[in-house]
Structure 1
Amino acid sequence: MTLSFTKMQGLGNDFVVIDGVRQAIELTPERVRFLAHRRLGVGCDQVLLVEPPADPARAAFRYRIFNADGGEVEQCGNGARCFAVFVRDQGLTDQTLIPVETAGGLIRLQVEDNGQVTVNMGRPRFEPAEIPFEAPAVAPSYPLEVGGGSVEIGAVSMGNPHAVVRVEDVLKAPVESLGPIIESHPRFPRRVNAGFMEVLARDHVRLRVFERGAGETQACGTGACAAVVSGRTRGWLDERVAVDLPGGRLVIQWQGCEDAPVFMTGPATSVFTGNIKL
């Protein structure tokens, strides 16, 4: 079969986006790995699939996310912004406020007048069972045993699990060595995204993220949200924070109470469209 796709990127986090509304497509793990392969396929961090919603009264679309290793995951913030631009560019909707179903819950995408997209990412989850994370009770931070030592992490779900480590200098952080160890730590039964955050000021951080199933990426939207939530919970950050990632800047807002949603604002860009044989 021949598949039509659009290559998109949000702060260098790149995606193959597929219209599953107007073309029939079944994404097997093998097909996802082929599409994501940077030598044999299109090349991307994640493959995003647009589908009709399960509940049209509640959402306009269903949003599915597949990592480069073929596994399906619950949420991707940079992908969500690309999703919003894609469905409008493709004429699938003319709305600027777009409710979308994900495996991690309902999210709302707002296309701003300047072309940036604000995503209501929903409320953060701290209960260990909801992350999921093995811990006896909720805490602002937890010691995690790694490589014969211990690091202090904040654990939070933004529809997908995140572990946040504070570092002195994000450029010197052991992302390549420590990231995979945290990602596959046995206390995270579904693996975890590992974030390394340097706090520059109460409204400004730098962040690198080792994403499960993808490795370090240029940007991670849910990782930026989780970093700010964890930093605010631990008393380091204010309500509105600029998050500088290798691919660029996101702005994250969170009021600081458990029931309040997290808002993420940033760019999304179409790179090219094409067709590929599967």
Structure 2
Amino acid sequence: MTAAPAPAPAPALQHFAKGHGAENDFVILPDPDGRLVLSADDVIRLCHRRSGLGADGVLRAVRSTAIVEAASMADSAEWFMDYRNADGTHGAMCGNGIRLLARYLVDAGHCAPGPLAIATRAGTRHVHVPARSPDYRGPVSVMMGRPALPGPDDIEVTVGRRRWPAVHVDMGNPHAVAFVDDLAHAADLRTAPTVTPAHAYPHGVTVEFVTVLDPRHLALRVHERGVGETRACGTGACAAVAALQARDAPSAFAGDYTVDAPGGRLHVHVRPDGEMELTGPAAIIAQGALALPSAHDGPASVPVAHEKATA
């Protein structure tokens, strides 16, 4: 009689946390030593809204000394944000994601509250998590850098029969910002809006539809590349403010702006030198353990495809 084959070993369990910033939600995977090999399929499964945990993206928290991508930033930033979009692609920067990751690192005891530097594929970003006080659970802020407006000037966004001119804003990731009369004109955003000329965004683009409620108060909806419509977008809020400057009032740009998204309110403070600070809610809502069938202990250095999408 032939013996039955031994059952396959169960996949190892991986700790996770789930949270959101203005309902822009993420799965956080702590991986301090950079041992987790996370496939695109793993990310897609985790982010699926029916068969997974459900999220707009995955944030892998790795010490900068443990990953080649962050080695040059290790002296100034202990932790690196390895951001993946819901479709499994790598992202350079995520304004709500980095604020949530900072909240997690403080809550988990990896970092002290207060100022915190985190490395990203777009460079080091400086975050502030409120100190342990009555407002400890208050908003988290991040310095987002200065926006760039690389052009070209003939960008257009199309949804159905409607077409709008748009502004190309780079916040560490590319955005096309279109000002509209009514956010409902963006339709259901189940599919990506058409953006032309195609050569302006060879790796795709996040599109913001923005209405101006008053000179320093905006409302927006976002279709994020690699994700779809999201409830909020941190880099998108900053891009919307930058596009407003380009359109209306560059001489009076510094100061405070409010940006309302379907998932909540974000605040953008613009310094006189043009650097932007993003502030908003960041909450950890669940923690647990999960199985990643294709994940395993591996080398700390994993080849990374060209950054194609981000939040």
The one-letter code of the counterpart of 2:126 is: R
RMSD: 2.2
User: Which string of whole-angstrom CA distances, capped at 9 and with x for unpartnered residues, describes residues 121-146 of structure 1?
Assistant: 11112235xxxxxx3xxxxx534274
1:64 alignment partner, one of 57, 60, 82: 82
Tell me which residue corresponds to 2:111. 93
User: Which string of whole-angstrom CA distances, capped at 9 and with x for unpartnered residues, describes residues 132-191 of structure 1?
Assistant: xxx3xxxxx534274787521011111111000001111343352784323994431010
The 1:252–1:191 alpha-carbon spacing in structure 2 relative to 1, beyond 3 Å, is same
Tell me which residue corresponds to 1:269. 283
Instruction: Summarize the alignment of residues 24-35 of structure 1 with structure 2, pairs less than 5 Å apart.
Output: 24-35=35-46
Tell me which residue corresponds to 1:36. 47
Q: Bigger radius of gyration, 1 or 2? A: 2
Q: Compute the displacement of 1:8 (Å).
A: 0.5
| Separation (CA, whole Å) in 1 of partners of 2:139 and 2:257 | 17
1:123 alignment partner, one of 138, 146, 155: 146
| Separation (CA, whole Å) in 1 of partners of 2:34 and 2:107 | 16
| Separation (CA, whole Å) in 2 of partners of 1:16 and 1:169 | 32
Tell me which residue corresponds to 2:243. 230
Tell me which residue corresponds to 1:252. 268
The 1:38–1:143 alpha-carbon spacing in structure 2 relative to 1, beyond 3 Å, is closer
User: Which string of whole-angstrom CA distances, capped at 9 and with x for unpartnered residues, describes residues 229-252 of structure 1?
Assistant: 111121158531110000010011
The one-letter code of the counterpart of 1:76 is: C
Q: Secondary structure of the equivalent of 1:142?
A: coil
Q: Secondary structure of the equivalent of 2:189?
A: helix
User: Is 1:112 the equivalent of 2:135?
Assistant: no
The 1:11–1:39 alpha-carbon spacing in structure 2 relative to 1, beyond 3 Å, is same
Instruction: Summarize the alignment of residues 1-278 of structure 1 with structure 2, pairs less than 5 Å apart.
Output: 1-21=12-32, 24-53=35-64, 54=71, 55-113=73-131, 114=135, 115-128=138-151, 135=152, 141-144=153-156, 146=158, 150-174=163-187, 176=189, 179-182=192-195, 185-235=198-248, 238=253, 239-255=255-271, 260-278=274-292
Query: TM-score, normalization: structure 2?
Result: 0.79
The 1:90–1:145 alpha-carbon spacing in structure 2 relative to 1, beyond 3 Å, is closer
Larger relative contact order (CA 8 Å, sep ≥ 6): 2
Using the aligned pairs only, state the percent identity.
35
Tell me which residue corresponds to 2:307. none
The 1:17–1:183 alpha-carbon spacing in structure 2 relative to 1, beyond 3 Å, is farther
Query: TM-score, normalization: structure 1?
Result: 0.88
User: Which string of whole-angstrom CA distances, capped at 9 and with x for unpartnered residues, describes residues 33-73 of structure 1?
Assistant: 11111222211000001111123311121111101100011
| Separation (CA, whole Å) in 2 of partners of 1:165 and 1:184 | 14
The 1:206–1:145 alpha-carbon spacing in structure 2 relative to 1, beyond 3 Å, is closer
Aligned residues between the structures? 265
Q: Gaps (5+ residues) in structure 2?
A: 1-11, 65-70, 293-311
The one-letter code of the counterpart of 1:28 is: S
Contact kept, 8 Å, 2:116 with 2:128, in 1: the verdict is yes
Q: Secondary structure of the equivalent of 1:42?
A: coil
Q: Secondary structure of the equivalent of 2:146?
A: coil
The one-letter code of the counterpart of 2:55 is: C
| Separation (CA, whole Å) in 2 of partners of 1:208 and 1:148 | 18
